[in-house]
Amino acid sequence: MSGGKKAIFIVIAFCLCMVLLYGITYLPRKMMDEDPRDVSKIILFDGGTGIELEITDRATIEQLVEDISGVHFAKNKLALGYMGFGYRLTSYNEKGKVINRFIINSEDTVRYKGFFYKAKGETIDYEYLQQLAKAAASR
């Protein structure tokens, strides 16, 4: 292969790899895949009221993690320029380090790293999040 053909081949191969890598980001994925036992607390921030709820109760953590980890999401559209949200969920490990952080807009839509993701199949128990937030607001 001559030098020019080799360079063209390398550029084409590089472009194809980049397209493939970008395409993989559209495969359905879980927003939470950690073991509930690895989560020491969850901060749930209500975007509508501004109330922040710190969840350390093991049963509540397990229910939230298992509910959300059972849902697969596919990348939908760019989230830049959108304001407001339902709930921001941040999970922490025993050392206080953030494990995961994303926004839950509805039972089937989350925002993560600049993109909206739509649920495929199962959905988040959004009513449960609303109940938790309502109980925190009444304290």
What is the distance between the alpha carbons of residues 35 and 44, in angstroms, rounded to a whole number?
A: 18
Total number of residues shown for the chain: 139
CB atoms under 10 Å from CB of 58, counted, come to 12
Long-range interactions of 21-28: CB distance < 8 A, separation 24+: 25/75, 26/74, 26/75, 27/74, 28/72, 28/73, 28/74, 28/120
Joined together, the tokens standing for residue 13 give 């191969």
Instruction: Give the residue-averaged pLDDT of 1-9.
Output: 74
**Confidence check: pLDDT of 24 > 90:** no
Instruction: Give the residue-averaged pLDDT of 43-55.
Output: 93
**Confidence check: pLDDT of 2 > 80:** no
Please give the pLDDT value at position 88: 96
* CA atoms within 13 Å, Cβ hemisphere of 30: 12
The model scores a pTM over 0.85: no
**Confidence check: pLDDT of 13 > 90:** no
